[in-house]
Structure 1
């Protein structure tokens, strides 16, 4: 019998000689086995590559900010699961996989997810207004002044998410209540949840699928609210005076983060808090929590009080987490990073970054996939430090002694500077100023690529960019859409929609619709026409 040589290579099978029938049968069997090996191997390799690509590419708005091109699937084995607090591969992506939606202010732990398209590229139509008549208004006191507050404001971005075949829109407002609406109709899914004062910040929806909403109020409490009952129910609340010492006031503007059963939240009591939630379900199937405050620290230090010259050191932004570090700033201009890596083992967080901007820094810190921080600061005090440092900064936390990569100044007027949280899109950072300018910066150099102006004076809204489309509202009550496909060119106007009332709150964009409130008193849904 002549010998039979069969060679298997990637994508190829070579048979050298076929002899008698018995040999042929053996070869055919070998051929089939070899083909199966190649097919299974190819499918596994392709799946690995797709998974790797999925972790490095941003859906909808374009590539993940700062992400490098994926490597060859055959070059190395699949990386192990990320064991830290916030995976760098999640930059620009949704807040986990268990709940579809925009679940917290700016969408995820690095504050870099803006929603999901498609988006209206032509003038939209009004889908609904809530309430249909009247306004979301109440009386509230601030700095000794009592006045009527209406609608929603800074930051005020609604949460939009899908549950049981329905899309929910949840937000707090100046009528002292949290509202739970059907995204299609604007009708209530649950009764309103009342608090003792206005709600300025954005709610957070539990990213792990527990029917829980987290929200603060100017009444002094940050709450955990269950939504699996006939009416929303308060399960727990953290008082602003539960920790000592405190400064400034008892409001809660920040949108909390929930990571691995921990709640991370800063307050206008000027303290940063970490709460172990101990979420679960009771015998009746209803969600439960048993929270325990496991860490808190003042957001200020003696040096800041000396440098700033006052006690306005409240934490009004929403904390951000990248890898094992949580970042936040305060109204005294102190930017901080705290290492969380030992928290699960009972070790207290350690401060790893301290940087002073010189002025009120209420915009949330944004972190890109390389770990750089984008920090917007106001220009109110007009001190030497604020003039020297600038109002839009890129910081490198790996160089805590000299972290400034670049800075752009906005010192032409007081109050000026940056109030809204910047957005990252491809190779640019986009932000707006209190004076109404909107700028696109080269993320590598900080060079201004383009700038345009919005009418209506102050602009506090945070820009939203999805599917090459930038959404910005102004204080005359107009929502604008711009094409930013060419990041080097000034954005091209696509449409304007007149709502009325200053659009101060950040819009939520989800599958063809925009949801946002105005200071005129209502929340609106616009959809593609």
Structure 2
């Protein structure tokens, strides 16, 4: 009798187990698990931040990095008037790099607010080869500084896979609007156009925007997934103004323009080469100008994906300017102006300028926290990383050869690791380089920071143009010590930033373009050259490439835009 009861109990358990299995099968058909369900579409699909440093952590200036050491005197303008004190009502607080954007792809220069990557996803690499897949032609434009051709520095393309709903409301060609999983290349260039290509084959996704002004730097797409493009102008045309623009990617209308000719500025040059950051939480644009002014703009964005409409109604910019030792607006002096792209950590912005000053600015008070003198013009964008073990953020920065006292004959490019909490220089490497007033030597690229879990974890990679008067030196440094892990001499000088692409196992491949139209594929762990192809024979490449999966996109000064597959 007792055995019979046990038997019945077992039968009941088996029946219940079968019902549970059937329910799981119905919920997740054909072997799908919860993690395999279709991803949420639209800008609400924001990523989750990786746990980071304590919220209580605040930068404080080291003795070597006090702003007063360098004669810093700053002003803040609010609603058109200089104020003695400022406190932002809606606080800026950038997330970690992995949570910066809701989009799939490369949405700004070096991918995120830490400026650490210009590739998205992984590549299936079996042979370590590069193959040209498609090639498109752009044109030239006469600006007031001369004729601008093709794609210039920094010139990184943006590569975005739009959510289905967003794609459906944009003015794409009908066949592209219907294409599931479309990945779009967005490329502002020196010929005054903003081009739109299908990453797969280079075909147009929509008409180009012709604004008739040269775009030299790198644009940004709104990280919230909103169809907005932020782009700065690189030169004047027929004496006109240089402007910063916000463009709707629904219908390509210009929603906002800001003139770089600003009475608040101490410098006459008014271009915008920096790739902007947008703080999603406060709806605020942050953009340093070459006029030496740091702009923060509350956008008051309204996006209705159901109605297919988007608008901005920007407040008056809150502006920051500074005076410092040696800065002046003449050819023999250190200059104001930022050409690199600001790195953002929480409410702090980190950038360097043409005069060789590196700054940490509290974006909620618009006051400098610390300043470091990096000696020379620094167009290289800072790369930022958090260190949980050291309870700090580290910054990697480098200079060119331009304003050093002996720069007219020679000089050194400096690569430094800086403690972002204090401004203290952790280590410094210097490399002899040649000065040229037309083609700068030193570091104009931005670094690769080896991805965690990859074969270049713990490594920072820079290229140094005109090192020892020759071509370029690609150098991999130990992030802890600054010691060289490997070096590679390239016979032609290189302005473009190195691009790191990874496979699923974390093996790294570095794509490096040079001034003779070549792209080299290099093993990230060893510096071995695996392959070399001609993007365009004997043509300068100044722009930096970007990648999505196994596809790389790069533009040249020779009026070509090329898609390359790594495999």
Identify the TM-score tier after normalising by the shorter chain.
0.7 to 0.9
Q: Does 1:376 align with 2:398?
A: yes
**What is the correspondence of 1:142-291 to structure 2 with a 5 Å cutoff?**
142=145, 146=146, 148-163=147-162, 164=164, 165-217=181-233, 218-219=235-236, 220-229=242-251, 232-242=252-262, 244-260=264-280, 261-281=283-303, 285-291=308-314
Instruction: Describe the SS at the equivalent of 1:189.
Output: coil
Out of 107, 126, 130, the position equivalent to 2:136 is 130
Instruction: Describe the SS at the equivalent of 1:317.
Output: coil
- Distance between the aligned counterparts of 1:204 and 1:364, measured in 2? 15
Structure 1: which 5+ residue stretches go unaligned?
Answer: 1-17, 37-45, 48-53, 58-63, 67-82
2:445 corresponds to: 420
Question: Looking at both structures, which has the greater relative contact order when contacts are Cα pairs under 8 Å and sequence separation is at least 6?
Answer: 2
- Distance between the aligned counterparts of 1:522 and 1:481, measured in 2? 20
Out of 106, 114, 117, the position equivalent to 2:118 is 114
Deviations 1:68-90 (A, max 9, x none): xxxxxxxxxxxxxxx972334x3
Out of 416, 423, 427, the position equivalent to 1:406 is 427
Are the counterparts in 2 of residues 170 and 179 from structure 1 also a CA contact under 8 Å? yes
Cα offset, 1:246, TM superposition: 3.6
- Distance between the aligned counterparts of 2:555 and 2:214, measured in 1? 14
Cα offset, 1:413, TM superposition: 2.5
Out of 361, 367, 392, the position equivalent to 2:384 is 367
Are the counterparts in 2 of residues 248 and 270 from structure 1 also a CA contact under 8 Å? no
Deviations 1:391-413 (A, max 9, x none): 1010012223xx11001112343
- Distance between the aligned counterparts of 2:244 and 2:546, measured in 1? 22
- Distance between the aligned counterparts of 2:265 and 2:372, measured in 1? 22
2:476 corresponds to: 440
Deviations 1:352-390 (A, max 9, x none): 121111210111111012210101111223338999996
- Distance between the aligned counterparts of 1:136 and 1:388, measured in 2? 36
Cα offset, 1:431, TM superposition: 0.4
1:50 corresponds to: none
Out of 127, 140, 144, the position equivalent to 1:141 is 144
Out of 467, 485, 493, the position equivalent to 1:449 is 485
What TM-score does the superposition give when structure 2 sets the normalisation length? Answer: 0.72
- Distance between the aligned counterparts of 1:293 and 1:422, measured in 2? 34
Cα offset, 1:185, TM superposition: 2.8
2:95 corresponds to: 87
Count of paired positions: 445
The 1:241/1:434 distance shift into structure 2, 3 A limit, reads same
The 1:393/1:528 distance shift into structure 2, 3 A limit, reads closer
Q: Does 1:328 align with 2:351?
A: yes
1:503 corresponds to: 541
Out of 495, 499, 512, the position equivalent to 1:460 is 495
The 1:197/1:451 distance shift into structure 2, 3 A limit, reads same
What TM-score does the superposition give when structure 1 sets the normalisation length? Answer: 0.77
Are the counterparts in 2 of residues 248 and 313 from structure 1 also a CA contact under 8 Å? no
Are the counterparts in 2 of residues 103 and 204 from structure 1 also a CA contact under 8 Å? yes
CA RMSD of aligned residues (A): 3.4
The 1:447/1:122 distance shift into structure 2, 3 A limit, reads closer
- Distance between the aligned counterparts of 1:206 and 1:215, measured in 2? 11
Q: Does 1:520 align with 2:558?
A: yes
Deviations 1:134-174 (A, max 9, x none): x42112233xxx3x221112100100001233110001111
The 1:55/1:491 distance shift into structure 2, 3 A limit, reads farther
The 1:378/1:528 distance shift into structure 2, 3 A limit, reads closer
- Greater mean deviation of Cα atoms: 470-479 or 404-413: 404-413
- Distance between the aligned counterparts of 2:200 and 2:277, measured in 1? 27
- Distance between the aligned counterparts of 1:410 and 1:327, measured in 2? 24
- Distance between the aligned counterparts of 2:316 and 2:128, measured in 1? 48
- Distance between the aligned counterparts of 1:427 and 1:267, measured in 2? 32
Instruction: Describe the SS at the equivalent of 2:196.
Output: strand
Instruction: Describe the SS at the equivalent of 2:554.
Output: strand
Deviations 1:248-294 (A, max 9, x none): 41111111011121111111111111111111136953111111234
- Distance between the aligned counterparts of 1:136 and 1:512, measured in 2? 27
Cα offset, 1:177, TM superposition: 1.4
The 1:20/1:129 distance shift into structure 2, 3 A limit, reads closer
Cα offset, 1:56, TM superposition: 5.2
Cα offset, 1:243, TM superposition: 5.3
